[in-house]
Chain A
């Protein structure tokens, strides 16, 4: 049953993008299809200021976007809040109060009334970019997942009190995963004594990443976990928790890795090399987390969308079904990757917490 739903779901996904691309092809027959697809993919990978589902060009030659505009929040000598529909996807200048803003390459810049953007020699915009706290597509997706998670798991929690210790409803599906995280991720990596205080973070981060990854596979076209700012935020929390809960032994391991096995004067030349490596390790561990999740999700989206794009490049009876089949197979693999990346992130976080929480019997 679930398999069937997934299959039809991905079919829908493929058809959805197919519709988009075919639209693009018809309207811009003069443009290069390959560049068009490339632009489309890179546009998809970035965060957006509105939740657009699809776009087309009407008979008058104007782009029409179907979707929901989202609030843009800027800090530019005071809070500036306006609807993203004013930006018109970078096609015109937004006039807010006495200021003018223009969307250029996914960023909002302050401009004059005509919307001129100045570029330096390396083609970077030199205009002022105000601090941007907009509720973007990614933020909306995260809020959506947060609300979903809140209702899902409070519902599961309530079902225990109702049934007297037995899970009920949808939550029953997730109880084994909760138990798996506790018994196979937290307990063996952190240890029986201390795993309890890390459980909240591990459970939240696992489901948060997993659900966001899955949302990224829907035709809504969001790419939240493939955004470096999001994975940076997640890894930063792992970093903070690891180092703030670090025991004496954890810091001792970093600044005195050899312990009492050597005389102090013998350790000095070794430590000139060892201590910088260990200190660097504190930062490299969470950094690897953020890059791994970002790169995996980003790559997955690029591969999947490129394969879908290939269908319109081949335009043959052989090539297009072939790339469709390939895209379908990759979609299924991506479904696994979504779970796998959430697992790896959680697993490695638990491992780092385990390092931080370790306590040796003193030598």
Chain B
């Protein structure tokens, strides 16, 4: 210990402290500050870049899932549209059929009514004709009656036979 103290050189201690403190301040200003700030800057830029990449990836993923969702929705919509169309088609066909049937029914009933009318008119006409024929016959019978009785009878019978009433 005594040797250590006697060996202790005040001058060396003085110069060491002076050199070291001088070096400390010089390096602080000209080296450590710019070095550390440059390194920090670089590190933060790397960090930022990594984060940005991560964000982009997340965004892409969400975009992809969005796409998937939109696709799914579109497909569902298509399905729904098709179904609706099919339904509409069936409805239209059904309603058309019904309408047609109704129309047919109507036409049929109109036709029947017309036939009925025609028939009635025909019967009426026939009736008139039968009347006139009957009158004619009666006239002719009356004329024959006037000639002879037998013949008249014969004629009446024959005429009646010929007349076909419908």
- Which residues of A does B touch, CB under 8 Å? 46-47, 73, 106, 124, 131-136, 138-139, 142-143, 146, 149-150, 153-154, 156-158, 160-161, 165-166, 175, 178-179, 182, 199-201, 203-205, 208, 227-230, 232-234, 236-237
Contact = CB atoms under 8 A, between A and B. Distances in A.
20 contacts: A46-B7, A131-B10, A132-B9, A139-B15, A150-B23, A153-B32, A153-B35, A156-B35, A160-B39, A161-B34, A161-B38, A182-B39, A200-B24, A200-B27, A200-B33, A203-B32, A227-B9, A228-B8, A229-B8, A230-B12
A165 B35 CA distance: 9
B20 A149 contact: no
Contacts of A227: 9, 12
Interface in B1-52: 4, 6-17, 19-24, 26-28, 30-36, 38-39, 41-42, 45
Nearest to A157: B34
A204 B35 contact: no
Contacts of A200: 24, 27-28, 32-33
A308 B137 CA distance: 178
Contact of A229 (B10, B20, B32): B10
A274 B62 CA distance: 63
A150 B35 contact: no
A165 B14 CA distance: 38
B31 A156 contact: yes
Contact of B16 (A132, A160, A233): A233
B36 A149 contact: no
By DSSP majority rule, is chain B's interface helix, strand, loop, or mixed?
helix
Contact of B15 (A106, A142, A157, A203): A142
Nearest to A75: B11
A24 B47 CA distance: 63
A142 B19 contact: yes
A154 B32 CA distance: 8
Given A154-B30, A233-B16, A165 B45 contact: yes
B35 A233 contact: no
A53 to B, nearest CB: 20
A154 B31 contact: yes
A295 to B, nearest CB: 10
By DSSP majority rule, is chain A's interface helix, strand, loop, or mixed?
helix
Given A156-B35, A160-B35, A143 B8 contact: no
Contacts of B36: 178, 182, 199
A143 B19 contact: yes
B38 A133 contact: no
A135 B32 contact: no
Q: Which 8 A-B pairs have the closest CB atoms?
A: A153-B31, A160-B38, A157-B34, A229-B13, A233-B16, A229-B12, A200-B28, A165-B42
B14 A146 contact: no
A233 B17 contact: yes
B128 to A, nearest CB: 125
B35 A157 contact: yes
Nearest to B36: A199
A205 to B, nearest CB: 8
B75 to A, nearest CB: 51
B16 A234 contact: yes
Given A157-B35, A157-B38, A203-B27, A232 B13 contact: yes
A237 to B, nearest CB: 7
Contact of A133 (B14, B27, B33): B14
Contact of B12 (A139, A156, A161, A182): A139
A200 B6 CA distance: 33
